[in-house]
Amino acid sequence: MSVQEIGGVVPDLVMNELGRALGVKDSQDVDVEMSDVKAVGGFGQVRKAVEKVVREGYSAVQILSQVSFYSLSLYSFV
């Protein structure tokens, strides 16, 4: 077991997948426009990503914390 697993941290791979399903662009994507969110996927894709995270048994508080950090860390605020 890793320190992250013991601490209850959701792995980056899982968070990246969930973020993409929610319409959050990866750091590799340069252009960020809200109009592109609909093209990422529909409700079904989001539902599948959430079900996967729920089946893994991660804490909802931890997931929300990491999703907010993940989405905000992709943008630089001036």
Domain count, the chain: 1
For residue 33, being part of any structural domain is answered with no
| pLDDT at residue 28 in the model | 56
Residue span of the structural domain in which 68 resides: 7-23+41-78
| pLDDT at residue 18 in the model | 87
Helices (H) and strands (E) in the chain — how many of each? Answer: 5, 0
- Percentage of residues of the chain with pLDDT beyond 70: 72
Distance CA 78, CA 17 (A): 28
Q: What is the mean pLDDT of the chain?
A: 76
For residue 63, being part of any structural domain is answered with yes
For residue 13, being part of any structural domain is answered with yes
* Mean pLDDT on 31-59: 73
| pLDDT at residue 7 in the model | 84
For residue 31, being part of any structural domain is answered with no
For residue 14, being part of any structural domain is answered with yes
Q: What is the pTM (predicted TM-score) of this model?
A: 0.66
For residue 60, being part of any structural domain is answered with yes
| pLDDT at residue 75 in the model | 66
